[in-house]
Amino acid sequence: MVPFAGHAMPLQYDGIIAEHRWTREAAGLFDVSHMGQLLIGGDMALAAAAIEALMPIDLATLPLGGQRYSLLLADNGGILDDLIVTRWPGMFFVVVNGATCAADLAHIAARLPAGVTLTHRTDHGLLALQGPRAVEALAALGLEPAAPGIVPVEALWFMAAGPYRWRGHDLHVSRSGYTGEDGFEIAVPLAAIAALADALCVHPAVRPVGLGARDSLRLEAGLPLYGHDLTPDIDPVAADLRFAIARRRRAEGGFPGHGPIIAALADGPARRRVGLLLDGRLAAREGAVVFAGDRAVGQVTSGGFAPSLDRPIAMAMVAADAPDTLTIDVRGRRIAATRTALPFIPHRYHRKGAQ
């Protein structure tokens, strides 16, 4: 157990590599209850406008039960947090990082108009069930759709969500996650979370997975981690998160940092987040300096051994004009590294239209 975002959390159970591989092959269960669950409600039109004033999201095209990745931005375009917004009946459900939750609450609360409410929901936890057999394991619990028109969990598409009932408890299930695999995130009352975790672990495909493998899984999936790959000094264009800047919002503006972000989109960023494949077996970690020849061109923002690739990989923030062939200073030694497209391994989401 290790301290993390004010919680005591398991780093590993069976070992990071074994848990990582299990998640890619079967299903890993993660307790991610450290993440913040926020409800923004009141007048929905006002609430949508208030959220759009904080992040470059397009809520006009977000249907009921739909969810979208977005970024809480500072006035200079720097990233204050990355998060997921889901449209519920009568409110927006926002899941934020644990370490940034308190700051996010203060930031959002200070910017909400009258008629819009903000609630930090602390009586619910969050479980993530991730991997190719996650759907089979969750379906086996027999969750009941809790509203008209809600499909069984196995029929949810990636980034779709809905309310369900399980043993008399109200759950909120979304087909999403942060491992690159198909899977689900389940918001569950704290009174029921242990029973739900136990029930899921009864399934032979499911094993518990700790923070260590969560990090190696998301790194292989090319997904940035706030506080490491994303910071207030990094804007969405440098972060290679252009997809999170909705088309309508690019044209209309009205979110913090619109000017600098549009300029970065037009001119190209001065530096950007890239993926690096390292030669040899020695891993480069956060803070390691990246060189093009003798010129320092950036820093590793997260890195480690990739169990699925059996080699070390890293994400780094480097000068946009950095070449593809680089070296990284690891403990005084120069390790050869090659820029590569992210993700390192293909995402296997259950996207709409898939079989």
Verify binding: residue 216, another protein, rule CB under 8 A.
Answer: yes
- Chosen residue from 121, 242, 281, 352 binding another protein by CB under 8 A: 281
- Chosen residue from 158, 305, 344, 349 binding another protein by CB under 8 A: 305
Residue tagged 């923030």 (tokens)? 317
Residue 5 or 102 with smaller CB distance to another protein: 5
Residue 311 or 348 with smaller CB distance to another protein: 311
Verify binding: residue 11, another protein, rule CB under 8 A.
Answer: yes
Shortest Å, Cβ 283 to another protein:
6
Verify binding: residue 165, another protein, rule CB under 8 A.
Answer: no
Verify binding: residue 89, another protein, rule CB under 8 A.
Answer: no
- Chosen residue from 283, 313, 317, 322 binding another protein by CB under 8 A: 283
How distant, in Å, are the alpha carbons of 139, 184, 340 from that of 135?
Answer: 6, 8, 31
Shortest Å, Cβ 207 to another protein:
16
270 sits in the region (left: phi over 0; alpha: psi -120 to 50; else beta) called: alpha
Verify binding: residue 15, another protein, rule CB under 8 A.
Answer: yes
Residue tagged 């931005």 (tokens)? 73
Tell me which residue of 328, 331, 240 sits closest to 292, measured CA to CA: 328
249 burial type by CB count under 10 A (0-12 exposed, 13-18 middle, 19+ buried): buried
* Choices 9-17, 76-84, 233-241, 246-254; region in contact with another protein by CB under 8 A: 9-17
Shortest Å, Cβ 148 to another protein:
46
- Chosen residue from 36, 212, 269, 275 binding another protein by CB under 8 A: 212
How distant, in Å, are the alpha carbons of 12, 159, 174, 314, 315 from that of 213?
Answer: 7, 22, 21, 15, 16
Residue 126 or 284 with smaller CB distance to another protein: 284
* Choices 85-93, 181-189, 225-233, 275-283; region in contact with another protein by CB under 8 A: 275-283
Verify binding: residue 282, another protein, rule CB under 8 A.
Answer: yes
* Choices 86-94, 179-187, 238-246, 282-290; region in contact with another protein by CB under 8 A: 282-290
Verify binding: residue 334, another protein, rule CB under 8 A.
Answer: no
How would you label 262-300 residue by residue, b for 16+ Cβ within 10 Å and e otherwise? bebeeeebebbbbbbbbeeeebbebebebbbeeeebbbb
**CB-facing half-sphere around the CA of 295: CA atoms within 13 A:** 8
**CB-facing half-sphere around the CA of 80: CA atoms within 13 A:** 19
Residue 25 or 154 with smaller CB distance to another protein: 25
Q: What is the amino acid identity at position 255?
A: F
- Chosen residue from 9, 12, 51, 240 binding another protein by CB under 8 A: 12
Q: 105 with 25: CB under 8 angstroms?
A: no
Verify binding: residue 17, another protein, rule CB under 8 A.
Answer: yes
Verify binding: residue 33, another protein, rule CB under 8 A.
Answer: no
Shortest Å, Cβ 301 to another protein:
16
- Chosen residue from 112, 304, 314, 315 binding another protein by CB under 8 A: 304
How distant, in Å, are the alpha carbons of 18, 63, 160, 304, 326 from that of 278?
Answer: 22, 42, 36, 10, 9
Verify binding: residue 7, another protein, rule CB under 8 A.
Answer: no
Question: And the tokens for 187?
Answer: 């918001």
- Chosen residue from 285, 339, 347, 348 binding another protein by CB under 8 A: 285
Tell me which residue of 264, 132, 311 sits closest to 206, measured CA to CA: 132
Residue 174 or 216 with smaller CB distance to another protein: 216
Shortest Å, Cβ 78 to another protein:
29
Q: What is the amino acid identity at position 183?
A: G
208 burial type by CB count under 10 A (0-12 exposed, 13-18 middle, 19+ buried): middle
In this structure, what are the phi and psi dihedrals at residue 84, rounded to the nearest 5 degrees? -125, 130
Contacting residues toward another protein, per CB under 8 A:
11-12, 15-18, 212, 216, 280-283, 285, 304-305, 307, 312, 330-331
